[in-house]
Amino acid sequence: MAHCTGAFILAEAGILDGRRATTHWAYARELQRRYPKTRVEEDRIFIEDRNVWTSAGMTAGIDLALALVEADLGAAIARSVARSLVVYHRRAGGQSQHSSLLELEPKSDRIQAVLTHAQRHLDTPLSVEQLAEVAHLSPRQFSRAFTAETGQSPAKAVENLRVEAARLAIEEGRHTIDEIARMTGFGDRERMRRAFLRTLGQPPQVLRRNARLANAVAAE
């Protein structure tokens, strides 16, 4: 097991030869350059390949540790440990290291509160009028302030948050595509498919197929 740049030590020892591995995104390309026999996946929280575990930086190590506990002792014990650590739940290994919320980087608490509200209520309409109410601004003032602070329109930011949440749910594989479309506020799979193509360049079905293939490879 290696956390963050500890993957370099495993790679130097030859342990990662022919294996899938990850590390902090800032060092992933360097890991791949130095150790070409390692199959580096730079946008993953953690990866398990034939009992060798690697993770991204800092908090990703907690996700990896909880996954180890779940693999050895079951989901109930892992949830209990997560509560003891004051962690809401572990992220799936396939989840991206990048976050739409972090990329938006709002400059004021007012806009941050709107983004937090949106993330927690993705299954609701989230119109400009509703979000402006959360910010205590008129719709026009809110749209102008939001775009100035984040570089995105409110509608585009909400779509990105929905795509991120839907992608995670698709990779976890616990719900159908139709259920995920409803849960994340797209309403139907066709609207979600169009949003995925705009944002990720791939439809949801391809991401699900890739996630299943990756899980099957990891289980071998």
Q: How far is CA 12 from CA 18, 32, 54, 141, in A?
A: 13, 12, 14, 55
Cβ atoms of residues 4 and 58 within 8 Å: yes
- pLDDT at res. 88: 47
Closest C-alpha to 39, from 26, 27, 25, 21: 21
Q: Quick one: average pLDDT of 84-107?
A: 59
pLDDT more than 70, % of the chain:
85
- Per residue in 54-71, pLDDT (tens digit) is 887 766 667 777 777 878
What is the band of 219 on the pLDDT scale with cuts at 50, 70, 90?
low
Q: Quick one: average pLDDT of 104-112?
A: 84
Structure tokens at 199: 């944002």
Query: Over 80: is that where the pLDDT of 178 sits?
Result: yes
pTM: 0.58
Query: Over 60: is that where the pLDDT of 220 sits?
Result: no
Q: Quick one: average pLDDT of 172-187?
A: 92
pLDDT averaged over the chain? Answer: 84
Query: Over 80: is that where the pLDDT of 166 sits?
Result: yes
Angle CA(92)–CA(33)–CA(2) in degrees, nearest 5?
Answer: 40
Q: Is 24 helix (H, G, I), strand (E, B) or coil?
A: coil
Q: Could you tell me which residues come within 8 angstroms of residue 113 by beta carbon, excluding any fewer than 6 positions away?
A: 134, 135
Query: Over 90: is that where the pLDDT of 80 sits?
Result: no
Query: Over 90: is that where the pLDDT of 167 sits?
Result: no
Query: Over 80: is that where the pLDDT of 208 sits?
Result: yes
Range of lowest pLDDT (43-47, 127-131, 208-212): 43-47
- pLDDT at res. 68: 79
Where residue 112 falls (left for φ over 0; alpha for ψ -120 to 50; beta otherwise) is alpha
